[in-house]
Structure 1
Amino acid sequence: MLKNVDPLLNADVLYALRAMGHGDELVICDANFPADSVARATVLGKLLRIDGADAPRAIRAVLSVLPLDTFVDDPALRMEVVGEPNTIPAVQREAQAEVNAAEGRDLAFRPIERFAFYERARSAYCVIATGEQRGYGCFVFKKGVQLAPDVAKQAPSGDQSKDQGK
């Protein structure tokens, strides 16, 4: 058990989140998504799991440690409902609330067509399958940066030649 780390974040998930770089994408998907076959095509090459949690709860856990990219317009994507691109199912509304809470602002999901979602998922860093049983509980998140405060610049030390060789 770790302090201040959501208990849903197992060692494999934490490793992947830490290994990702700025601009890498991760997929959080429902139990209906072809997660294993898609995950084999990702950078990580294997499926990660957060079993026993629905998609919104898994999103809360992941976004508790993962910054979203602020350099792009759409760091969060949701799979469109087939034939009903303007429909937003309950699972996506719940996920939207988790994203907004994590970011401290409204950050709307951009919808993406189902087959375009599959292609995007194959090029992601990793796929995290959840226990979400509702359809369309599938999302893509782009990792941002977590910058440390600037370190005070060292004052010039003058002529360093006399210090050499000591």
Structure 2
Amino acid sequence: MLKGIPNILSPDLLKTLHEMGHGDEIVISDGNFPAANYANRLIRCDGHNVPDLLEATLELFPIDTFVDKPVTLMQVVDKQKEPTPEIWQTYKAILSKHQVGKRQIGHEERFAFYERSKRAYAIIATTEQALYANIILKKGVIS
């Protein structure tokens, strides 16, 4: 074990976060996301939820400050019938603690999100049950 490393971050996930370079993206996906179908590198985090992994990841992971929207959420399919997912408020609170503001969070249509996920450095697959809980983080630099 190491001091100061959140214990939810597995050795494989730590290695992946360390290997990533500036501008690389990582997806933290919910339990419904077809992660194995799209991942270049798949990291299974069964039994964990997205907010806990997001919080732990952001303890170590610098968010890109050179782009307008370094964080991306999957849009709801039917904006007229589906309410804003509650989990997004949780994300905003976590991101805010790590100096990421609301204006830095983008939204991408479902199939565009899938295509973007194919190009991500890695996908972290969770068993999160909340709908639209998928999130993409773009890695920045440590200044």
Provide TM-score, normalisation by structure 2: 0.92
1:51 CA drift (Å)? 2.4
Provide the C-alpha distance between the structure 2 equivalents of 1:88 and 1:75, rounded to a whole number of angstroms: 20
The residue that corresponds to 1:13 in the other structure is: 13
User: 1:13-92 alignment to 2 at 5 Å?
Assistant: 13-39=13-39, 42=40, 46-84=41-79, 87-92=83-88
Letter in 1 for 2:36: D
Greater relative CO, 1 or 2 (CA 8 Å, sep 6+): 2
The residue that corresponds to 1:162 in the other structure is: none
Provide the C-alpha distance between the structure 2 equivalents of 1:58 and 1:102, rounded to a whole number of angstroms: 14
Q: Give the RMSD, CA atoms, in angstroms.
A: 1.5
Higher mean C-alpha deviation, range 117-126 or range 47-56: 47-56
Kindly report structure 1 stretches of 4+ aligned residues shifted beyond 4 Å: none
Higher mean C-alpha deviation, range 27-36 or range 130-139: 130-139
Provide TM-score, normalisation by structure 1: 0.80
Provide the C-alpha distance between the structure 2 equivalents of 1:82 and 1:38, rounded to a whole number of angstroms: 20
Unaligned runs of 5+ in 2: none
**Equivalent residue pairs, number:** 141
Letter in 1 for 2:45: I
Contact (CA 8 Å) 1:28, 1:130: kept in 2 or not? yes
Contact (CA 8 Å) 1:79, 1:138: kept in 2 or not? yes
